[in-house]
Amino acid sequence: MWIGHAVSASPHRLGIGFALAADLNLRCRSSNPLAILPPHCTMTPDIDLTAPPEPGLALVSDVAGVARVLCNLSGVGLMDKLTPQRATSRRIQLTLASGDTITLRVAGAGRPVLMVHGLGGSHHDWDGALESLAQQHTIHSFDLLGHGARASSKRLPTLQQMAHDVAEVIAGLGLKRPLLVGHSLGALVVMKYLQDHGATQIAGVCLIDQSPRITNDGQWQLGLFGSLTDGQLKDTLGRLRGDFVETVASEFIARLAPLKQARSREALAGRLARWAVAKLARSCGIEHVLSMLESLVDADFRDVIAKVKVPTMVVLGGASHHYGGLPLEQYYRNTLPDGTVRMYKQASHSPHRQEPVRFAADLTAFAAKRCA
């Protein structure tokens, strides 16, 4: 998930700069790294690399590499080209009321399950667990608005729009009481679906490593990192709207502070950072990214969690870069009317990708016992 604040140099709060750094490190293996820079780039002023980063975007371990994020948010489509088509899956196209077309991947047979991926992800996020889950269920997965094959949609992605798409998929395919599964941003989409459309059309819910409210205050400290405030998030979004490239590139430089080569080549690092961020912005569309982030500012689904009328399983990563160390497990145990909580102690923010066999077994057991 792409959101957060970078107020420390902790390795558990990796900034977007690390993603760009990985990309730049690959490029700089050429004999002349300056050759990749456009001619209009100029040397940047010296930067205080000892200063702590200001609140900004954070790209945490939800994503397994720069290429995956770039492809999913820019709609390049490389993930589909590089990932072999599974023989057990088939494709279904559904036209929404908006005129958009959703291509769903469907695999297996049995109780329908609808999978909703996280920010920066795609329907491929479920590949590791797909084969096991498809033995007992019909698995439906698709790209959220603003991601993958739908990255170029003219509709700006928001939680409300994404939740409405989920409702249209359930109705359009005639799914009978499916199990809804959401990871990170996808979990918030599922919560928004419950808030707007109720639970009468579904049999159960699975939420993966997500809090019902991502910002913190004096009464709520189970949001992102246990410290991201509403003011910090709004300030970040304001600076991103003012100058997306400079805001993200500045954090990138600050994040390079521990690296010796960054200290000795400050100007080059700054030039490379701004060039890479500008390229990213052109590819993924700044408005799409900001629209998603802005829809999270006031999102608060604590009332939904307290009143959800269907069995709910929560899967948390014990080493999550988002929520690791926070008592979110106890919160869900105490709050859910009919809840099952599973803690994957060694997993970070994407337990379904890191431990897919266990996740598939837990979800299958949950569906059989709790979602009859």
What is residue 6's predicted lDDT score, i.e. its pLDDT?
A: 35
Q: Do residues 147 and 72 lie in contact, with contact meaning Cβ atoms separated by under 8 Å?
A: yes
What is residue 261's predicted lDDT score, i.e. its pLDDT?
A: 52
What is residue 356's predicted lDDT score, i.e. its pLDDT?
A: 97
Distance of CA 201 to the CA centre of its chain: 25
What is residue 51's predicted lDDT score, i.e. its pLDDT?
A: 37
What is residue 34's predicted lDDT score, i.e. its pLDDT?
A: 29
* Length of the chain as a residue count: 372
Render pLDDT for 10-37 as a digit per residue (tens, 0 to 9).
Answer: 333 333 333 323 322 322 223 332 232 3
What is residue 153's predicted lDDT score, i.e. its pLDDT?
A: 80
- Strand 204-208 relative to strand 101-108: parallel, antiparallel, unpaired? unpaired
What is residue 146's predicted lDDT score, i.e. its pLDDT?
A: 86
Residues of the chain predicted below pLDDT 70: 1-87, 251-270, 273, 280-281, 283-285
Helix (H) or strand (E) holding 111: strand 111-116
What is residue 151's predicted lDDT score, i.e. its pLDDT?
A: 77
What is residue 267's predicted lDDT score, i.e. its pLDDT?
A: 56
What is residue 75's predicted lDDT score, i.e. its pLDDT?
A: 59
